[in-house]
Amino acid sequence: MNKGETLAVPYADLTSDIVESLTPQDAERIAIGLLAENARVKEGGLILSWSEFNENPDPLVNKLLARMIVGQFDRQKLVGLAAWQFAVLSIESSASYLAMQLTEEMERSFHLSRPPRIIRARKLPRGESPSPAMSERKLAVTVHPITAGGEPRTLVASLPDDDQGLHRIRAIVVVDDFKATKSTLNGGIALGINLFSRFTDPKNLFIIPTAALGKPDQERYAHDTPTTAVVWDTITAVDVHFWGDPQTGNAFIQANGFEPVVMQRATASDFKRGGL
C-alpha cells in the first residue's frame, strides 16, 4: 500500500531548525520531495544523480539522511554498547560526508559520550597506489561499481599501527552513498570484517551496512563473504524506482512506498534504454 504524499519543503528553504525538528518519518517525506526537485537522470536511465548529496554534498541533506538511517537501527541489539564499541567505515568519496553526520546522529540518538570513530575506505582505480598517509595495517578488496562502467576498483583501508582500543569494537557501520548493484557495499562489509578480525574474533562483531540511496532494480550482488560475523540487512534512507513516461513526457520517481512524483529536472527523453 502506498503511503501517500511526500512533504514539500523546497531545497532553498531547508534550514537547520527544520531538520533538527524532524522525526525520521518526516525526514523521509521531505527527502523524497528533495529528490524529485533536484535529481537528474544520466546514462540513458542508468544513473540517478543527486548533486546536492553526491557530487556537491550538503550538510543538511546528509543530516536528513543520517536521521532516516539511524532511525531504522534495531535499538534492542545496540543496548549497552558504548561509543568506543562502534566504528563507522566510510566508503569514499561522497559517503564520507554522510558518515560524519551519521556519527553525530548516533551520538545524539543513543546518548553516546562521543561520536564513533571513522575508518576511511578509499576507492581507487586498479593499479593506483594508496595514500602514503595510510598505515602499514591496510587491506584491500576488489569491487565493480556501476558508476565505473563495470571496470574494477579497489577498496583499501588501514587501521592505526597500534591497538588504540580497537579490540573493543563490536559494531561496524559500513556507509556508502548509493547502493546500486551492491558490489561496493559488499566490498566494504568484507573490508570491515577483515580489518577488525585482527583485533577481535569475528563472531563478536556485527556489521550494519547502510546507504543513502538504494536502487532495488539494479541490485545483483548478495552478501556472500564467508564469515562468522553477524551481518544485518542493508539499511537505506531512500529506495528509489525511476522511469520515463513517453505519453506525458515526464520522468517519475517513486521511493519508500510513497506515491510517484514528477521529477523536475528530468524528462522521459532521458531514458533511452527504456527506464529502470
Around 77, how many Cα atoms within 13 Å sit in the side-chain half-sphere?
A: 15
**3-class secondary structure, 27:** helix
Give mean pLDDT, residues 199-210: 92
Integer Cα distance of 198 and 228 in angstroms: 14
**Residue 2 domain-assigned?**
no
Phi, psi of 137 (to 5 degrees): -85, 70
| Biggest alpha carbon–alpha carbon distance for the chain | 62
* Domain span including residue 64: 11-270
Give mean pLDDT, residues 27-32: 91
Which helix (H) or strand (E) segment holds residue 177: the answer is: strand 171-179
SS (H, E, C) 101-169: HHHHHHHHHCCCCCCCEEEEEEEEECCCCCCCCCCCEEEEEEECCHHHCCCCEEEEEEECCCCCCHHHC
Is the pLDDT confidence value at 182 over 70? yes
Q: How many structural domains are present in the chain?
A: 1
Nearest to 194 by CA among 241, 142, 237, 229: 229
Q: Give the model's pLDDT for residue 148.
A: 58
Comparing 82-86, 194-198, 237-241, 247-251, the range with the smallest average pLDDT is 194-198
Q: Give the model's pLDDT for residue 165.
A: 85
Class of residue 2 by CB neighbours under 10 A (exposed 0-12, middle 13-18, buried 19+): exposed
Integer Cα distance of 214 and 221 in angstroms: 13
- The secondary structure of 187-233 as a DSSP string is HHHHHHHHHHTTTS-GGG-EEEEEEEEE-GGG--PPP----SSEEPP
**Residue 5 domain-assigned?**
no
**Residue 133 domain-assigned?**
yes
**Residue 230 domain-assigned?**
yes
Q: What is the pLDDT of residues 38-74, one digit of tens each?
A: 999 988 988 888 877 777 889 999 999 999 999 999 9
Cβ partners under 8 Å of residue 164, min gap 6? none
Please report, for the domain that includes residue 109, its CATH number.
3.40.50.2020
- Length of the chain, please? 276
Is the pLDDT confidence value at 184 over 70? yes
Q: Give the model's pLDDT for residue 224.
A: 61
**Residue 76 domain-assigned?**
yes
**Residue 42 domain-assigned?**
yes
Q: What is the pLDDT of residues 60-113, one digit of tens each?
A: 999 999 999 999 999 999 989 999 999 999 998 779 999 999 999 999 999 999
**Residue 3 domain-assigned?**
no
Integer Cα distance of 94 and 97 in angstroms: 6
